[in-house]
């Protein structure tokens, strides 16, 4: 049994880790960390887990925690893990970090977009960006630190990846218009996240400034081996879970003056995702819907070619708390411990 | 492996059966019956099951179906199963009927409330009312026909059962005010069920005439061994899943002129539900919320005593598609085949 | 022009007052009071009013406010107005208090249910309970202080009033099961009111202890001239606006052993509401729905008789921010200033 | 009094016309046309109008209707009005057509995108495209036929218009990603529009093929005096009302190699919208939200410049049933009859 500790267990992503790991047969959660609820029964906060979890919330005692567990999930605010991570910790436990602290390789970029100083840049190089479908080979039992990708990022990258990688689209024209359910905004008690403020409402936010932008750019940059600079616009939508990314790019004209057609684009998607359990390339003409992946680790992707504008419209949908956070974190944990990648993640999407 | 056939597989309850049974390790679904979608790919209708189900919808050929499966779930309109059930069928397969056809023992009562003639009353006596927590002993591998309880009914009965059974409340004063998410209204294309008609709206319906009334009365009547006549009012609420029942009754005054207190009432609940995996009696002061049971087979119950009025307010919450339909049907199937009752039902409620 | 000041203008009820009064042709709002947002532009907080309101939020300077306005609406927490009201203030301005401070005539009852000391009980006697349909005659240009009824209260009372008044139901059996949209919970930044906690969820709260209980009991007590003790259970429902009250009571048996029939009950409703613009007695068989009154000052009521149990099920629906708060407050203001009672309240319900 | 007839009065747009016109003091609705509900009480279908409307639904007898009214609003399916419009009708009444029949000047384009034959192309030339803010001068008491713009179209055009008109953006790079509430899908009883299918879900639809595309292209083409070919992608969002358009385009580089800055872009918006009552250019940094315009005739617009990509992200929000349909139709009617353009449209947005 892998002993697991969770820091930030009372946020939405933390609680989703609990939901998933309770049905993971090789895992035992031994530490429910939550500074806000120390000594309270975890199941008093999340009544869904009543009779399923019998444990109290613990303070963030990393020294003690390191001795008690094999792996720590940090579902914490930006800067938290960077502020306390040490070589000693990494020698004792593996860490899957759900925050952004080790996702971006360039410290200056991190500090510019996150507006905080990075306190432990020495570990950035070692951290593996845990987008399993792309970086699977780098996540092994030798890996100590996984930077679990962001929710928007996972959706945005996987939706465009095959076409970027294959050079089928002009990345300079790439625009990502993303929409998210409200659990992505976290569980903090803020007026803008109240039911009556969100319900029956829709808005863009963080326009041209959202922190997931450089993360997407960096990863797509690796795919096409050049610097990527794109527009990413997130939107808040009145639903609990789900991210939908609609992405636009010009198709690259071929030497003969034609543009890639449906079959060629589809081949590219199949080339990268045919064996991928958690990426479903939908049938032609079917648009991804967030409801079809809710509660599961799937990403549904598809595309439409517009012959009039020679653009391809790519679409991807995932559950921000599963494939966009906790599910992917478990996928990474499985790889870290040499378990089947999908163990504990055989979650059938719930409808309606 | 138990071979399963589902009639009405493209309704919400039918699809929920599929979702649950896909993770049931002793079951293989071999027949996805749906008259409306014959020959269409099941996963084209429910895209959540894309890559998980590779089967076409079948017509309702009972003769053929009986040969192909061990058990049939009928998630069909009232009167359907009653119209075609024969001794021959029951000799070949077990049936878990999610409709109301065999729930009510008195044919006249059935015909009065459902306003249709019962075509096969000869099987009513044999049918077992599949409320496992109460009738567990009667559901064995000898049972051929299970009448799976209604969604409102399950919630309403389990919420009040211990107090009715123990004679702690005056059943003549029992009033059930129930609220349901919209999946309970089915998947038929009707104007009143359109998003814009239901969203941001709330209403009572079927007041003093809802068909679950006699079912509740009959079962609670068995518990207190007298005829029960109560008020049951269902309401439609803008959410997908979930039923909340709020029930009111006068406490029975004791010979010494006092009324049962908190401890005594709680004891009654514990007496009947202590060993029950799927009924959770919440801690004092905690009101059941539908979200805490969503996607799971749990019923959460609790109560408050009002010393001013000497009434007890009982509350129960369940997911109408799981414990209120498909989950309970699987629970019954497990009993029919001698499997552990909770097999395939270890569903952790999803939050948020 | 009546000069209006609003204290608590940045809560939901306060903002609704602004929305309504902007279209009231005899009113000018001259004071937008909000301690939390002092000196901020009101329309920066409520962008719906951009270009419509050009004013900054003011601190709660009552001395100054009294000089500036003709009437003050206090949409403030319980105890606030009671803590500062003086004879001097009442000599200068009229007050419509949307809090509960002067609704309950018995100080002990107020203090018991609200758990705070009442700081100015000397004004309770003078305050008129502003349920216009019942107390219209007492709200004149001589009135100085109106206690605007609560949202649940307005709905609960008006739904049952004719039958209580006419002695057609046994008030000892009266049970009120009420459901409310979330704006009733206010605009405070609390975790339980976050979108993800409320959405797709439903629960009872304040069971047997909600503060609107004694208010309902007192007013219905006046109607039947005896002490009333009933059960009132509020529920939280995932929608912005709307209250639905479902009320149950035994019909009073007549000397001849029969019970009041449909026509007699309907006559009672018509007797009291026939000339009432804002109370709509629906056609037989039509259940009130909150959506049909959204944004308006209407209360829709109706009933169903259950011949089996000899109970009548009464139903009422209103918009908690309009007839349940700001709309009724304006209705009271109109009476205070001798204006037509419906001035500014010709709001057509918005659908969908 | 202007006598008004509505064809399609029981759709969402038709009903919204009624809601608005009931408070229009120069209008009397004399004909509630609805083939589906002939002879039924209009207020039995829309209970919100109980006591407000006392009329029965009428069949579509155009001959009779022409004699009875001064203006007809057709809120009908595509092709309906084109199939019956005659010179004789236009000589008797004015028509504001909420369908697409006369919006597109090129018949071939109409027939290609709508896939139906246009039965009365002879009136297309005469019809005025009723986007008041742009075509106000053409809508006079001489005008007989107004083509009321589409909901997505109104939002998409007004959001980009100043920048297109002033040549500040490269229209070949223009991409419109639009999101709509569900009332835009109409009131037809279709499974995909059921509450449980839409709620907690999000999807793109009509990708690269939505019929509002050529309408947007034509109008923006007039603004920049060249042919426009762009991408328009609509999305369905779980809310009743509201459209949000997020639009992307490259800024045009100036001769000196720089790009237009914030002030210049803002000037362009102010140039066209400063005197416009119904277009609100928000303060810098404020993103439009659909909730802030709900129930009103406002369009809120704003923009953000991304200095990294030299794109401008334009955003616009409106209520699809008001400014996107019925409100704009009334605005057009006012112009047709020489009334103040905003008469009856002084609707304060409702929040929450």
- pLDDT tens, C94-143? 999 999 999 999 999 999 999 999 999 999 999 999 999 999 999 999 99
- Read off the pLDDT of residues B134-190 as tens digits, 9 standing for 90 and up: 999 999 999 999 999 999 999 999 999 999 999 999 999 999 999 999 999 999 999
Q: Could you tell me the strand order of the sheet in which A71-74 lies?
A: A57-58, A27-33, A2-7, A71-74, A94-97, A145-147, A128-129
Strand partners, B180: B236, B243
- Cα distance from C53 to chain B (closest Cα, Å)? 28
Evaluate the CA torsion angle C99, C101, C105, C111 in order and state its sign.
positive
pLDDT tier, B39 (very low <50, low <70, confident <90, very high otherwise): very high
Residues in chain C: 352
Say if residue A317's pLDDT is above 90.
yes
Taking the C-alpha atoms of residue B158 and residue B216, their distance in angstroms, rounded to an integer, is 10
Residue A151 falls in the annotated catalytic set: yes
Among chain A residues, the shortest Cα distance to D311 is held by A231
pLDDT at D128 over 90: yes
Of the candidates A57, A132, A151, A155, the residue annotated as catalytic is A151
Helix (H, G, I), strand (E, B) or coil at D343: coil
Could you give the CA distance from residue C300 to residue A119 in angstroms, rounded to a whole number?
Answer: 62
* Shortest CA gap C350–chain B (Å): 11
CA dihedral over D335, D341, D346, D347, signed as positive or negative:
positive
Question: Which secondary-structure segment (H or E) carries D6?
Answer: strand D2-7
Contacts of residue B190 in chain D, CB cutoff 8 Å?
189
Closest by Cα among D207, D213, D208, D205 to D109: D213
Residue of chain D minimizing CA distance to C15: D351
Nearest to C222 by CA among C328, C135, C348, C304: C135
Binned at pLDDT 50, 70 and 90, residue D236 comes out as very high
Owner of token pair 């406010």 = C65
Residue B294: list chain C partners with CB under 8 A.
Answer: 200
Q: From residue B240, give the alpha-carbon distance in Å to each of A319, B90, B320, B324, D180.
A: 17, 35, 9, 13, 20
Residues 6+ apart with CB under 8 A from B66: B72, B88, B89, B92, B93
pLDDT tens-place string over residues A184-231 = 999 999 999 999 999 999 999 999 999 999 999 999 999 999 999 999
Residues in chain B: 352
Residue range C171-181: mean pLDDT, rounded: 98
Dihedral sign for Cα atoms in the order D256, D258, D263, D267: positive
pLDDT of residue B263: 98
C-alpha to C-alpha distance for C107 and C88, rounded to whole angstroms:
22
Look at the block and give the residue holding tokens 């990603």: D177
pLDDT tens digits for B293-317?
Answer: 999 999 999 999 999 999 999 999 9
Q: Is C291 part of the contact surface with chain D (CB cutoff 8 Å)? A: yes
> What are A344's two structure tokens?
């504990």
Q: Do A233 and D241 touch (CB under 8 A)?
A: no
* Number of residues written out for chain A: 352
Q: Which pLDDT band holds residue B274 (cuts at 50, 70, 90)?
A: very high
3-state secondary structure chain B: CEEEEEECCCCHHHHHHHHHHCCCCCEEEEEEECHHHCCCEHHHHCHHHCCCCCCEEECCCHHHHHHHCCEEEECCCCCCCCCCCCHHHHHHCEEEECCCCCCCCCHHHHHHHHCCCCCCHHHCCCCEECCHHHHHHHCCCCCCEEECCCHHHHHHHHHHHHHHHCCCECHHHCEEEEEECHHHHCCCCCHHHEHHHHCCCCEECCCCCCCHHHHHHHHHHHHHCCCCCCEEEEEECCCCCCEEEEEEEEECCCCCCCCCCHHHHHHHHHHHHCCCCCEEECCCCCCCEHHHHCCCCCEEEEEEEECCCCEEEEEEEECCCHHHHHHHHHHHHHHHCCCCCCCCCCCCCCCC
Give the SS3 label for residue A120.
Answer: coil
The pLDDT tens digits for A326-345 are 999 999 999 999 999 999 99
Neighbours of chain A (3+ CB pairs under 8 A): B, C, D
Pair C42, C36: CB distance under 8 Å: no
The span from the CA of B256 to the CA of C139, in Å, is 50
* Residue ranges of A 193-252 with Cβ closer than 8 A to chain B: 200, 240-241
Positive or negative: CA dihedral A238, A240, A243, A244: negative
Cα–Cα separations (whole angstroms), residue C67 to C35, C74, C88, C89, C93: 19, 16, 11, 9, 8
Per-residue pLDDT at B60 exceeds 90: no
Residue pLDDT, tens place only, A262-311: 999 999 999 999 999 999 999 999 999 999 999 999 999 999 999 999 99
Q: Given a cut of 90, is residue D95 above it in pLDDT?
A: yes
Q: Which of residues 300-339 of D touch B (CB under 8 A)?
A: none
Percent of chain C with pLDDT over 90: 99
Question: What is the DSSP code (8-state) at residue D169?
Answer: B
Tokens for C67? 């000089």
- What is the C-alpha separation between C66 and C62, in angstroms, rounded? 6
User: What percent of chain D is predicted at pLDDT more than 90?
Assistant: 99
Report the pLDDT value the prediction gives residue C56, as an integer from 0 to 100. 98
Could you report how far apart the first and last alpha carbons of chain A are, in Å?
A: 34
Query: Which tokens go with A181?
Result: 């359910």
Q: Which residues pair with C175 in a beta bridge?
A: C231, C248
pLDDT of residue C342: 98
What is the arithmetic mean of pLDDT over D299-318?
98
**Chains near D, with 3+ CB pairs < 8 A?**
A, B, C
Contact between C159 and C140 under an 8 Å Cβ cutoff? The reply is no
Give the chain C residue nearest B234 (alpha carbons): C246
- Per 3-state DSSP, chain C is made up of helix, strand and coil in percentages (nearest 5) of 35, 20, 45
Selecting from B182, B191, B200 the residue whose C-beta is nearest the C-beta of D187 gives B191
Distance in angstroms (rounded) separating the CA atoms of residues C31 and C37: 13
Among residues A177, A303, A317, the alpha carbon closest in space to that of A241 is found at: A317
Q: What value does the mean pLDDT of chain A take?
A: 98
Active site residues of D: 151
pLDDT at position C207 is: 98
Q: How far apart are CA C315 and CA C304, in angstroms?
A: 8
Average of per-residue pLDDT across C256-283: 98
How does DSSP assign D27-60, residue by residue? EEEEEEE-GGGTTSBHHHHSGGGTTT---BEE--
For residue A93, give the 3-state DSSP assignment. Answer: coil
Write the burial class of residue A225 (CB in 10 Å: 0-12 exposed, 13-18 middle, 19+ buried).
Answer: exposed
- pLDDT above 90 (res C74): yes
Q: Looking at the predicted structure, is the pLDDT value of residue D60 above 90?
A: no
pLDDT score of C60:
87
Chain D residues whose CB is inside 8 A of the B240 CB are 195-196, 199-200
Q: Which residues contact A215 (CB under 8 A, 6 or more apart)?
A: A100, A103, A104, A149, A150, A153
Residue D192 pLDDT: 97
Q: Hey, is the C-beta of A284 within 8 angstroms of any chain B C-beta?
A: no
The beta-carbon neighbor of B238 closest among C229, C235, C238 is: C238
Residues paired with residue B194 on neighbouring β-strands, in sequence order: D194
What residues of D are in contact with residue A229 (Cβ under 8 Å)?
308-309
Q: Which residue has the tokens 């907080």?
A: C45
- When scoring B9, B12, B14, B47 by the number of chain A Cβ atoms within 10 A, the one with the most, hence best to mutate, is B47
Length of chain D: 352
* Token pair recorded at residue D114: 């709508």
CA distances from B95 to B129, B130, B147, C26 (A): 12, 11, 9, 70
Which tokens sit at B293?
């049971």
Cα B295 to Cα B318: distance, rounded to the nearest angstrom: 9
Q: Using the 8-state DSSP alphabet, how is residue A95 labeled?
A: E
Question: What is the pLDDT confidence band of residue B55, given thresholds at 50, 70 and 90?
Answer: very high
At C18, list the tokens: 């602004």
Chain A neighbors of C200, CB-CB under 8 A: 240
Which residues sit opposite B29 in a β-bridge? Answer: B4
> What is chain D's mean pLDDT, rounded?
98
Query: Which chain A residue's Cα is nearest to D250?
Result: A173
Residue from D17, D44, D27 nearest D324 by CA: D17
- Average pLDDT value for residue range C322-344: 98
For tokens 């206090």, name the residue: C74
Q: Where are the beta strands (DSSP E) in A138-294?
A: 145-147, 175-180, 203-204, 231-236, 243-250, 279-281
| Angle at alpha carbon of residue A83, lines to A80 and A87, rounded to 5° | 120
Q: What is the pLDDT of residue A282?
A: 98
Half-sphere exposure of residue A323: CA atoms within 13 angstroms, side-chain side? 35
Cα distances (angstroms) measured from residue B172 to each of A224, B4, B167, B229, B251: 74, 42, 12, 7, 11
* Averaged pLDDT for residues B251-279: 97
pLDDT of residue C145: 98
Residue B41 has pLDDT above 90, yes or no: yes
pTM, full prediction: 0.98
pLDDT at residue A60 greater than cutoff 90: no
CA A164/CA A243 separation, integer angstroms: 21
pLDDT digits over B309-350, tens only?
999 999 999 999 999 999 999 999 999 999 999 999 999 999
Look at D48 and C293 and tell me if their CB atoms are within 8 Å.
yes
Q: Do A130 and A181 form a contact (C-beta atoms < 8 A)?
A: no
For C248, the 3-state DSSP assignment is strand
Give strand ranges (E) for C202-321.
Answer: 203-204, 231-236, 243-250, 279-281, 299-306, 311-318
């Amino acid at each position: 049994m892998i002993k697991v500790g969770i820091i930030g267990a009372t946020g939405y992503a933390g609680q989703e880790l609990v939901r998933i790991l309770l049905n993971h047969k090789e895992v035992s959660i031994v530490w429910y960390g939550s500074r806000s609820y120390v000594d309270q029964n975890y199941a008093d906060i999340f009544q869904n887990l009543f009779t399923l979890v019998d444990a109290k919330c613990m303070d963030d005692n990393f020294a003690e925690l390191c001795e008690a567990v094999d792996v720590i999930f940090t579902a914490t605010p930006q800067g938290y893990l960077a502020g306390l991570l040490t070589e000693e910790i990494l020698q004792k436990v593996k860490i899957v970090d759900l925050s952004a602290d080790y996702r971006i390789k360039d410290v200056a970029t991190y500090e510019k977009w996150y507006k905080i100083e990075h306190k432990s840049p020495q570990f950035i190089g070692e951290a593996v960006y845990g987008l399993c479908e792309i970086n699977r080979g780098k996540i092994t039992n030798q890996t100590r630190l996984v930077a679990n990708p962001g929710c928007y990022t996972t959706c945005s990258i996987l939706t465009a990846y095959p076409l970027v990688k294959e050079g089928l689209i002009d990345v300079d024209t790439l625009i990502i218009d993303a929409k998210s359910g409200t659990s992505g905004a976290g569980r903090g008690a803020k007026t803008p996240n109240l039911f009556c403020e969100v319900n029956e409402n829709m808005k863009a936010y963080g326009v041209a400034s959202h922190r997931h932008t450089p993360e997407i750019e960096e990863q797509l940059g690796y795919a096409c081996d050049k610097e990527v600079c794109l527009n990413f616009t997130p939107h808040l939508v009145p639903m609990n879970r789900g991210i939908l990314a609609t992405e636009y790019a010009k198709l690259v004209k071929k030497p003969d003056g034609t543009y890639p057609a449906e079959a060629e684009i589809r081949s590219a998607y199949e080339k990268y995702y045919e064996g991928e359990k958690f990426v479903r390339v939908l049938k032609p003409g079917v648009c991804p819907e967030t409801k079809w992946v809710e509660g599961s680790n799937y990403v549904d992707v598809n595309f439409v070619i517009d012959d009039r504008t020679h653009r391809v419209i790519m679409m991807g949908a995932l559950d921000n708390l599963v494939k966009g956070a906790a599910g992917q974190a478990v996928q990474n944990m499985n790889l870290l411990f040499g378990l089947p990648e999908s163990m504990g993640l055989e979650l059938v999407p719930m409808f309606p």
